[in-house]
A and B are shown apart, each in its own frame.
Chain A
Amino acid sequence: MSAFSRTDTSILGRWWWTIDRWMIAAVTLLILVGLVLILAASPSVAEKLKYPTYHFVQRQLAFLPIAILVMVTSSMMSPKGIRRTAIILFSISLFLTVLTYFFGIEIKGAQRWIGFSGFSIQPSEFIKPSFVVVSAWLFAMPKWSKYNIGHLICITLYIFVAVTLLLQPDLGMAIVVSTVWCVQFFIAGLPLIWVMVFLLTGIGGTVGAYLLLPHVSSRIDRFIDPSAGDTFQISRSLQAFGNGGVFGQGPGEGSVKSVLPDAHTDFIFAVAGEEFGLIACLIIVGLFAFVVLRGLACALREDNLFILLAVSGLLTQFGLQAFVNMGSTLHLIPTKGMTLPFISYGGSSLVGVALCMGMVLALTRRRYGARGLA
């Protein structure tokens, strides 16, 4: 703690004394937990896919410095800088996402990835955090005359983004983006009558997806009535938690990772449950809850509407992703492939989440006399 003196006014010195160090500690812990779990879960998946044993570990380790760099750099920015970066990033990644239509690589039936000399990225992962900041900015725009131009632009943009994501098709991402956007709109002061309309649209959308998209309806059917179809993944996952018990079978002693194809991504929480047990799982849930709630508490003391909306949007996205992942693994909600932030394997996802938390850190820095922003 004494690396920087209180009177140090260099960039790093100011960063250290104004940043939320508790949040940094929690995020660092999550990254460490993630490393341990990737080491536990991914070798058997890699072997099954005929990759070298530590293929996924090495790739994750290669992405980690990039992610940390992204997080630290973005956390050093001023709110204005964050806003500008987000606008630029949003434009680029939306453009690239549209491009995946024409040049995308198809993986597991969806065209989400775009190739760059040797490795592929999923540009839509970067739409998520940047769109949150952009919509926060638009929602916070002061009213012009009678019409709320900011809101109108925001609604238009949202529809465009949602349609782009649905066409990929990436229903999970579309749901996350929509939920976060609705939460932001709600906090931005959406009249209660519209809140009701949005809720009903959400329910209608779910029912519509159930009726129109066969893979959605089969998943929901299997959730409601486990005997109706193949529930191999979810039964294995629940069995893993049962096997783990309170203290777990011990690192590397689990068996679920050898049967679940997505043990290193969507079902990594089950590996944690089997090998490290209930206590470790509760710690992981606690860390996520701590990060989200502490961030929201920071947002509460904010006087600037843009910052308040941006922080709460980013944290909602982070928390929602964690909730959906853990909830699917525990058969609390129908299975939806979604990564567990900082813990699941996946380069784009890791960097995207790092950017998200970097921006949260930047926006929750203590600023005195910085109220006149925008």
Chain B
Amino acid sequence: MIGRHPFSPFRNRREPPAPTEVDLARNRLLIAAGLTAAAFTLVAFRLLDVIIMPATQSQKVERSIPITKHYVSRADILDRNGRIMATNLNTASLYANPNLIQNKAGVAAKLAAILNLNAASLAEQFESKRPFLWIKRHLTPKQKYAVNKLGIPGLDFANEQRRVYPLGSLASHVLGFTNIDNHGLKGIENKFNNTLSNSGKPLRLSIDVRVQNIMREALLNSINKFHAIGGAGLVLDARNGEILSMVSLPDFNPNLPRKAKNKVLFNRATHGVYEMGSTLKIFNTAMALEHEKITMQSGYDATKPIRTSKFVIKDYHAKNRWLSIPEIFMYSSNIGSVKMAMDVGRVAQRKFFKRLGLLNKPQIELGEVGKPIVPEPWNDIHSMTISYGHGLAISPLQLVAGVAAVVNGGVLYTPTLFQRTRLTIGSRVISKETSEQVRRLLKLVVSHGTGSLAAAKGYLVGGKTGTAEKVVGREYKREALLSSFIAAFPINAPKYVVFVMIDNPVAIKGTRHRPTGGWVAAPVVGEVISRIGPLLGVKPINQNDPSVRDQMTIRVLTMKSGEKRLVSF
């Protein structure tokens, strides 16, 4: 046995002890052997690592094999009160191994009858040599039973899940939809595809489905009444930027996304950018007040239209006299607004609009977000038109976020579709005093101006109308309008901002009314506020209460028989 065992202690007896090349080689070989042993040990440990801890690994792996045994359900989407907006249904999907099917034409005919498919094309697919073929996804239980009853070899079912939206089209533009493999293609489903498919935890939005329903219903009624082509509605919490409702019409049924045409997939609330018209006078007036170019007592001469090299700026409700600032706002005077903007200057104006987030693509948890169209360069002529809401196209989302900042005390919050868990930090854009003054002006519009139809009984509403002429082809058209209304309530201490926009309303026959923002959109806002106010726990207010009167009263300078007089509203 001597020398047989490789590490035999007797080994050296056979060899003289003098160090030789072979001894060196043996020493070095020991090192090599040690490294080899280490390498194999490493493989063994890596095996343990990969197999014992597959949970951490599988997260990195995207699912693409149709049948996997370890399947995580796509997470539900909930509204702010936990109501289910999107969930899954267990279904069976039928597939075949065509190589195992004997009577191909016969089987194809039988299946086609049960599943409403084309027998000829199915038979053709059975001729393929591939071992896997989907026949139909998401069968009904009845269909599954009928297929099982046929007892055909080569057919099998895969357990799958189908995305369902129990509320149908109610929040379709927010939720989006998924494809047949549960991969999100639009809306929250698309933007949060990875989170939804991996986390398993429900995703809770800031949307309130009750508010959403009220907004959609009121908006839809108005669109039908005025034969409009579409519309958008938003309700935003002015105190933190949470979106309670986002409606864009026409919408679609996310349960049947393939039936939806491109036109209805367009989200007017976030993706569309529009020249909003007079609602931008809120920003214009706030800007002039903030820059101390005007006071509530000052005013401008609005006797004559302003003539520029290219066009003439007129007032729609022309008074042809000197107007005080509240009057300019109340009667929505373009001439007065242009003069305010000229006094502030285009550089400061651009800076102010940028600070309000109106010149950049807004942040929101959706993929369908439009970029504002900003004039480049920003000339005096743009400065003039932007003062009354033309020449700058922004999305309704940007308008709502900006107005919320102006009325809430002057702090801009990024709008969000998720509930804010911590105290949010916004950026101050105007002073508290300016904000307070603009609130009084907004109240005046509803109580005595163009927005009277937005008044909701028991609630203090302040708002502003917007009636923009749409560009058709290469010029503005007087008949094609974009009528909108933006409001905040309760206006003495705003909690919510409500926005409604109706695209291309048509005047109802037999009435003299032009379909303006005050006539078309303001009543929708009034209806929405009176219905959501109680739901959201906003207490009704007695308008004649002295403290409320004090908060909202405004002294307006006006011209009566040639001299300035002070009137209290």
Contact = CB atoms under 8 A, between A and B. Distances in A.
Contacts of B65: 255, 258-259
A235 B129 contact: no
Interface of A: 44, 47, 50, 183, 186-189, 226, 235-236, 238-239, 241-246, 255, 258-259, 273, 277-278, 281-282, 285-286, 288-289, 292-293, 296-305, 308-309, 312, 315-316, 319, 323, 326-327, 330-332, 366
A305 B21 contact: yes
B102 interface: no
Given A189-B28, A235-B61, A297 B7 contact: yes
Given A235-B60, A244-B51, A327 B22 contact: no
A47 B43 contact: no
Interface in B41-76: 42-44, 46-48, 50-52, 54, 57-58, 60-62, 65, 67-70
Contacts of A235: 60-62
Nearest to A270: B50
Interface residues of B, number: 44
8 closest cross-chain pairs (CB), A and B: A242-B54, A297-B6, A289-B40, A296-B33, A241-B50, A235-B61, A278-B51, A187-B28
B15 interface: yes
Q: Could you tell me the dominant secondary structure of chain B's interface residues?
A: helix
Given A183-B32, A239-B61, A300 B26 contact: yes
Interface of B: 3-4, 6-8, 11, 14-15, 21-22, 24-26, 28-30, 32-33, 36-37, 39-40, 42-44, 46-48, 50-52, 54, 57-58, 60-62, 65, 67-70, 129, 131
Contacts of A366: 4
B69 A243 contact: yes
A243 B25 contact: no
A300 B67 CA distance: 52
Given A238-B57, A241-B54, A301-B6, A293 B47 contact: no
A297 B11 CA distance: 13
Contacts of A301: 3, 6, 8, 11
A241 B51 contact: yes
A296 B43 contact: no
Contacts, number: 132
A238 B37 contact: no
Q: Could you tell me the dominant secondary structure of chain A's interface residues?
A: helix
A326 B54 CA distance: 18
A26 B29 CA distance: 22
A332 B46 contact: yes
A236 B58 CA distance: 10
B43 A326 contact: yes
Given A47-B131, A189-B21, A238 B11 contact: no
Contact of A242 (B33, B44, B58): B58
Contacts of A296: 29, 32-33, 36
A288 B22 CA distance: 26
B43 A285 contact: yes
Contact of A282 (B21, B36, B44): B44
A241 B298 CA distance: 78
B27 to A, nearest CB: 9
Contacts of B60: 226, 235
A4 B69 CA distance: 53
B28 A330 contact: no
Given A241-B50, A316-B36, A332 B42 contact: yes
Nearest to A294: B6
Contacts of A244: 51
Nearest to A316: B32
A299 B29 contact: yes
B22 A308 contact: yes
A242 B70 CA distance: 10
A278 B39 CA distance: 18
B365 to A, nearest CB: 22
B15 A303 contact: yes
Contacts of A255: 65, 67-68
A327 B43 CA distance: 7
A305 B269 CA distance: 83
Nearest to B129: A50
A244 B44 CA distance: 15
Given A241-B54, A285-B40, A319-B39, A308 B29 contact: yes
Contact of B47 (A186, A239, A278, A288): A278
A356 to B, nearest CB: 15
Contacts of A278: 47-48, 51-52
Nearest to A326: B43
Contacts of A323: 39-40, 43
B50 A330 contact: yes
Nearest to B4: A366
The interface centre, meaning the residue of B14, B50, B54, B68 with most chain A CB atoms within 10 A of its CB, is B50
Nearest to B131: A47
